[in-house]
Amino acid sequence: MARRVISSGKDVQETDQSGGRRSGRSISSEHAEGRSIEGYADRSKAEGFVDARRLQSEDLVSKTLQETTGTIGIMTRPKVVDFGERLKERRQAGARAIVLRVLIGLVVAVVLGAVVWLFLFSSVFRLEPGNISVVGANEWVSESQVLDIARQQSGKSLFLVSDGAVEKQIKAIPGVTSAKSKKQLPNSLEVTIKAQKPAAMLKTSEDHMTAVDSKGRVLNSVSGVSVEGIPVIEVQNVDASLSRRPIKEALKILSSLPESMRNSITKVTAATQDSITTELNGGDRVIVWGDSSDLKLKKAVVDKIVNDPNVIGDKHNVDVSAPLRPIIK
């Protein structure tokens, strides 16, 4: 008996090979089922679902065997981490690091201590009195005066010697205009000074002579020293005169004069602070300076007048107390 199958509005009939009609699903049903499966897969992809039928199978056993195989092909056991042992190892490593730091600190401290001892306290750099020398002393500023000050630094390390303190004290010596100390490794000190001759000799009525510098300080008295070429000022009392303005002005003027003129001075008078006068060559020339103001200009005017015969003529006195209006008579 023929079977009628309805598919898409059409009747389909099948006949088996024996001439009878086939009793089974229709071709349309089979195509419909295939389209249904493909539609499901498409929907799975669109909606993010996974079709288990399409997944690739994985052999987990083989993968595990590969991961546990050693370098020479022998299977090894997976490494098992013992957290207690790891913590113990970390603590030991930390302790070793602390010990190493302490040892390094001790070594550094010992080295620094040795360096400090070597440079500051050992005898290698210790300044001894016999290693101090003086350059520039003269008969008015004796070497012993300078050494007495410099030797106060003896016994110290050369690196602890204060150059500033040494120079300051030496400059305070009357007659010293400059001082410079120089350290010479490993343990020597050289002091170089510039010592001036006396600006003048103060002569009292008892014929006692006292050498003083340009600042009115009494210089070292040395017996047997020649005073030739040093201007002489007659005073009543040395200490009292040094505190008076006329003597201070006279010392400033005398100390600034060139050596050639100083050697020619035979007399100095300082009755007032505005009337400082010098006599040259026993009165052959008399220079009235006034005070110590405009001293550079005054010296230039005197040099021009005295050394020009056409200007000085037969005159003997030159007054430059007002240097812009000198008086010659």
Longest dimension (CA), the chain: 180
Residue 126: per-residue pLDDT: 93
Residue 272: per-residue pLDDT: 92
Instruction: List the end-to-end C-alpha distance of the chain, in Å, as a whole number.
Output: 178
Q: Based on the fold, state whether residues 285 and 301 are members of the same structural domain.
A: yes
Residue 86: per-residue pLDDT: 79
CB 199 within 8 A of CB 253: no
Task: State whether residue 251 is helix, strand or coil.
Answer: helix
Element at 209 (helix H, strand E): strand 209-212
Answer whether residue 286 is part of any domain: yes
Q: Distance (Å, rounded) from C-alpha 153 to C-alpha 72?
A: 81
Q: Based on the fold, state whether residues 210 and 267 are members of the same structural domain.
A: yes
What domain range is 235 assigned to?
A: 198-326
**Each residue's pLDDT tens digit in the chain (329 positions)?**
444 444 444 444 444 444 444 444 444 444 444 444 454 445 545 555 556 566 666 666 666 656 666 555 555 555 566 778 878 888 888 888 999 999 999 999 999 999 989 888 889 999 999 999 999 988 888 899 899 999 999 999 999 998 899 999 999 998 898 999 999 999 999 999 998 889 999 988 777 888 999 889 998 765 566 778 899 999 988 899 999 999 999 999 999 999 889 999 999 999 999 999 999 998 899 999 999 999 999 999 999 999 998 998 889 999 999 999 999 99
* CA nearest neighbour of 213 among 225, 229, 230: 230
Answer whether residue 272 is part of any domain: yes
> In the listed set 143, 161, 193, which residue is the last one of a domain according to the structure?
193
Answer whether residue 40 is part of any domain: no
Q: Distance (Å, rounded) from C-alpha 212 to C-alpha 227?
A: 12
Q: Based on the fold, state whether residues 206 and 284 are members of the same structural domain.
A: yes
Q: Distance (Å, rounded) from C-alpha 30 to C-alpha 52?
A: 23
- What CATH code is carried by the domain that includes residue 153? 3.10.20.310
Q: Based on the fold, state whether residues 244 and 305 are members of the same structural domain.
A: yes
Strands across the sheet containing 188-195: 132-135, 188-195, 176-184
Q: Based on the fold, state whether residues 206 and 265 are members of the same structural domain.
A: yes
> In the listed set 154, 172, 193, which residue is the last one of a domain according to the structure?
193
Instruction: Provide the domain count of the chain.
Output: 2
Answer whether residue 61 is part of any domain: no
